[in-house]
């Protein structure tokens, strides 16, 4: 995978600015298509991220032509024009005028800069479209962009294409086991010396998969991650720490949300690898809470399975399927499950579980989630509620 830019700031620097040239194609009519405004902005973010992640192209403010494949296409211009128009109508600065400024704003909560009625109505005040450290779209940006016309395969699909391809050459049961082993390993080891694990893991997964782990899932740790010459490691999740305002903070947002920062060891940057940025976003970030729940279930003696059937659901316990999601906006998450419950459909008991820290971040999170989802075949719970329910179910059987 090409790590074209290190961060959202890097992404911006990698782009070179051009004059804003809004096309005069017919765009959105505010009155009729307000709901599409945010979807089109999210789709813009996802399109540009895909270009930078997979095609290694810079994002440029100039127009794309046959001679110059880098630049903005008509869809991008339309999305920017729509933001400009909405801003002007609301008396806000013209945030759609310049692509680099717009992308920089997308690393901040929408409510801080795009104070439009449709943002508030859709419960998107706290939603961030681009992960500030990784410079790639958040899960919520992808959800908001889903179904927007002109969107092709999800970034996640492209990111894991070779992994999935290699797995598919093995018998079903074996492929499922490999999938879980690899993903669990990566989540538990966001920064590590791969050589230390090589002997153990190559016994358990085929060499071809090991190669993908080495070449696609991990990359060198940049020297910029060093603090006083070494990389401090988080005691809770094993990720690298960075300098915060007052002290070190873990680079995993889900870890910061539920633990006080603590680091008792540092490693030389040259001795370790770090998880590549796409993998960090799709596996490691959500994986912290998934593994915490999984470990707690196992510790209670429950037969929990992690990522069964190659991620049909996050965790299964007998006939209960569990998906764990940490979305800032309960409305966006509810919409996602209103559209489709995905692999939960395979299980008679279905739980949509939200980390306690996420549910506590705003009043009535679970109620708003259930309302937005609008279905009674999935139960919404916090992680601790889910644990209590599954433990008592187990003791009921005993």
Q: Minimum Å distance from CB 324 to Zn ion?
A: 17
Binder of Zn ion out of 57, 236, 277, 310 (CB under 5 A)? 236
Measured between its terminal Cα atoms, the distance across the chain in Å is 49
Q: What share of the chain is helix, strand, coil (3-state, %, to 5)?
A: 50, 15, 35
Q: Minimum Å distance from CB 256 to Zn ion?
A: 7
Binder of Zn ion out of 8, 80, 145, 234 (CB under 5 A)? 234
| 167 or 291: CB nearest Zn ion | 291
Q: Minimum Å distance from CB 293 to Zn ion?
A: 16
Binder of Zn ion out of 250, 354, 381, 386 (CB under 5 A)? 250
| 99 or 237: CB nearest Zn ion | 237
Q: Minimum Å distance from CB 201 to Zn ion?
A: 22
Pairing relationship of beta strands 349-354 and 379-382 according to DSSP bridges = parallel
Edge-first strand order for the sheet with 349-354 is 304-306, 315-317, 320-324, 349-354, 379-382
Site string (354-383) toward Zn ion, x via CB under 5 A: ------------------------------
Q: Which stretch binds Zn ion (CB under 5 A): 27-35, 169-177, 229-237, 342-350?
A: 229-237
Binder of Zn ion out of 83, 237, 333, 390 (CB under 5 A)? 237
Residues 103-162 that bind Zn ion (CB under 5 A): none
| 175 or 250: CB nearest Zn ion | 250
Q: Minimum Å distance from CB 305 to Zn ion?
A: 25
Q: Minimum Å distance from CB 285 to Zn ion?
A: 11
| 103 or 237: CB nearest Zn ion | 237
Residues 303-362 that bind Zn ion (CB under 5 A): none
Instruction: Please compute Rg for the chain using Cα positions.
Output: 22
| 295 or 377: CB nearest Zn ion | 295
Q: Which stretch binds Zn ion (CB under 5 A): 39-47, 90-98, 189-197, 242-250?
A: 242-250
* Partners of 241 in beta bridges: 250
CB 373, CB 323: distance < 8 Å: no
CA distance 316 to 322: 6
CA distance 287 to 117: 34
| 146 or 267: CB nearest Zn ion | 267
CB 315, CB 293: distance < 8 Å: yes
Q: Which stretch binds Zn ion (CB under 5 A): 39-47, 117-125, 238-246, 355-363?
A: 238-246
CB 70, CB 61: distance < 8 Å: no
**Distance of alpha carbon 217 from the chain centroid:** 15
**Cβ partners under 8 Å of residue 372, min gap 6:** 123, 330, 331, 333, 334, 335, 338
The footprint of Zn ion on this chain (CB under 5 A) covers a number of residues equal to: 7
Phi, psi (deg, nearest 5) at residue 34: -55, -40
The answer to the question of residue 255 lying near Zn ion (CB under 5 A) is yes
**Distance of alpha carbon 243 from the chain centroid:** 22
Q: Which residues bind Zn ion (CB under 5 A)?
A: 234, 236-237, 239, 250, 252, 255
């Amino acid at each position: 995978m090409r790590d074209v830019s290190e961060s959202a700031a890097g992404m911006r620097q990698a782009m070179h600015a051009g004059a804003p040239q809004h096309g005069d194609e017919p765009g959105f009519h505010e009155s009729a298509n307000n709901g599409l405004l945010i979807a089109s902005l999210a789709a813009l973010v996802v399109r540009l991220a895909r270009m930078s992640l997979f095609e290694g192209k810079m994002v440029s403010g100039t127009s794309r032509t046959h001679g110059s494949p880098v630049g903005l296409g008509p869809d991008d211009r339309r999305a920017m024009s729509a933001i400009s128009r909405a801003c002007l109508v609301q008396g806000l600065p013209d945030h759609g005028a310049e692509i680099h400024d717009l992308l920089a704003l997308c690393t901040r909560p929408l409510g801080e800069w795009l104070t439009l009625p449709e943002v508030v109505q859709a419960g998107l005040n706290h939603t961030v479209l681009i992960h500030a450290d990784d410079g790639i779209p958040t899960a919520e940006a992808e959800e908001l962009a889903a179904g927007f016309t002109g969107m092709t395969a999800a970034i996640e699909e492209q990111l894991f294409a070779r992994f999935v391809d290699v797995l598919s050459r093995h018998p079903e049961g074996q492929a499922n086991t490999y999938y879980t082993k690899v993903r669990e390993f990566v989540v538990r080891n966001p920064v590590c010396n791969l050589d230390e694990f090589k002997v153990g893991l190559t016994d358990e997964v085929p060499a071809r998969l090991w190669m993908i782990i080495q070449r696609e899932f991990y990359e060198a740790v940049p020297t910029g991650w060093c603090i006083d010459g070494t990389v401090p490691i988080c005691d809770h999740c094993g990720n690298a720490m960075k300098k915060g305002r007052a002290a070190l903070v873990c680079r995993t947002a889900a870890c910061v949300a539920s633990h006080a920062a603590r680091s008792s060891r540092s490693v030389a940057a040259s001795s370790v690898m770090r998880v590549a940025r796409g993998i960090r976003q799709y596996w490691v970030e959500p994986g912290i809470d998934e593994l915490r729940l999984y470990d707690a279930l196992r510790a209670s003696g429950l037969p929990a399975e992690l990522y069964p059937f190659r991620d049909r659901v996050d965790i299964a316990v007998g006939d209960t399927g569990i998906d764990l999601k940490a979305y800032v906006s309960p409305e966006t998450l509810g919409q996602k499950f209103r559209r489709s419950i995905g692999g939960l459909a395979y299980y008679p008991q279905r739980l949509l579980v939200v980390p306690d820290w996420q549910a506590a971040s705003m009043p009535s999170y679970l109620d708003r989630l259930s309302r937005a989802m609008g279905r009674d075949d999935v139960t919404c719970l916090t992680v601790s509620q889910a644990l209590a329910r599954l433990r008592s179910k187990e003791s009921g059987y005993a």
